[in-house]
Amino acid sequence: MGVPFKQIVVYLDGSESSMTAIMYGIKLAKEHDAKLTAVYVINTRALSELVKAGIFVAIERDEYQKDLQQDADRYLRHAARLASQKMVAIETVKLEGAVHMVMKDLLKAQKADLLVLGGITDIRSRREELASETDRMMRTSPCPVLVVRDDDDIWLEFEA
């Protein structure tokens, strides 16, 4: 049997669980000598919906989007530093749009073998479940999905 993973994509959203996912993705990439890509998607679709609903005015949306751009850059730099510590090459990608749709397109374009996601937060209602971008990515991914639980053991192992 050949190498199971040649192209691993990790989705980052700034949560602690996505940081655990990038650590696990780095570990997998090193073990399988796979190409690793970290992706942060700025959810411009959600921002537009906030404007439509009257929650944000356009100028607030623009300011918030700028903050999200800076957050994306910060988390992608952190992922690159983590990969560098383990001597693993990583490509970082920042995109905008509806998260699950943008990710699906990227996974197809990169011919990804595996999508790595951070653990899913507790969902309190069916509506939240349907709106969860992580859940949508799991259901629509064109490749296998690995959900990494936010586990202290992964952090400890990574830092060892």
Place of tokens 């623009």: 62
Question: Which helix (DSSP H) or strand (DSSP E) does residue 129 occupy?
Answer: helix 126-131
Cβ atoms of 17 and 148 closer than 8 Å:
yes
CATH at residue 73:
3.40.50.620
- Give residue-wise pLDDT tens across range 75-110: 999 999 999 999 999 999 999 999 999 999 999 999
The verdict on residue 2 lying in a domain is: no
What integer pLDDT is reported at residue 56 of this predicted model? 72
**pTM of the predicted model as reported, rounded to 2 decimal places:** 0.88
Q: 57 lies in which domain range?
A: 7-159
Instruction: Determine the number of helices (DSSP H) and then strands (DSSP E) in the chain.
Output: 7, 5
The phi, psi pair for 21, rounded to 5°, reads: -65, -40
The verdict on residue 1 lying in a domain is: no
Domain count, the chain: 1
Cβ atoms of 115 and 145 closer than 8 Å:
yes
CA dist 10 and 148 (Å) reads 10
